[in-house]
Amino acid sequence: MALLTLAEAKAQLNITSTSNDTELQVYVDAVGPVIERFIGPVAERIVVETQDVARDGVQVLVLRTTPVVSLTSVEPLLASGGTSYDVGALVLDGDTGIVRRADGGWLRGPLKVTYTAGRGEVPATVNLAARMLVQHLWQTQNASRGPVLPGGGDYSVSEPVAGLGYAVPNRVLELLEPYRLLPGVA
pLDDT at residue 109, rounded to an integer: 82
Phi-psi map region of 21: left, alpha, beta (phi>0 left; psi -120 to 50 alpha): alpha
Cβ contacts of 46 within 8 Å, gap of 6 or more:
72, 114, 115, 116
Domain residues of the chain, as ranges? 6-41+121-179, 45-117
- Angle among Cα 158, 160, 161 to the nearest 5 degrees reads 110
What is the torsional sign of CA 58, 62, 68, 74? negative
Is 155 a residue whose pLDDT tops 50? no
Using a 10 angstrom Cβ sphere, with 0-12 exposed, 13-18 middle and 19 or more buried, the burial of residue 142 is: middle
Task: Pinpoint the alpha helices (H) of the chain.
Answer: 6-13, 21-39, 124-141, 170-176
**Local structure of residue 166 (DSSP, 8 states):** -
Cα atoms found within 13 Å of the Cα of residue 61, Cβ hemisphere only? 36
Rounded to an integer, what distance in angstroms lies between the CA atom of residue 157 and that of residue 164?
Answer: 10
Mean pLDDT confidence for 150-177: 65
pLDDT band at 144 (very low <50, low <70, confident <90, very high): low
The pLDDT value recorded for residue 186 is: 40
Mean pLDDT of the chain: 85
Question: Is the distance from CB of 34 to CB of 3 less than 8 angstroms?
Answer: no
What residue ranges in the chain does DSSP mark as E strands?
A: 45-51, 60-62, 68-76, 90-93, 98-101, 111-117
**Contact present, 130 and 31 (Cβ < 8 Å):** yes
Average pLDDT over residues 65-77: 94
Task: Answer yes or no: is pLDDT of 151 > 70.
Answer: no
For range 1-19, the mean pLDDT: 93
**How many percent of the chain have pLDDT more than 70?**
83
Q: What is the pLDDT of residues 95-137, one digit of tens each?
A: 999 999 999 999 988 899 999 999 988 999 999 999 999 999 9
**How many helices (DSSP H) and strands (DSSP E) are in the chain?**
4, 6
Residue 13's pLDDT is 95
- What pLDDT band is residue 1 in, cutting at 50, 70 and 90? low
CB proximity list for 144: less than 8 A, separation 6 or greater = none
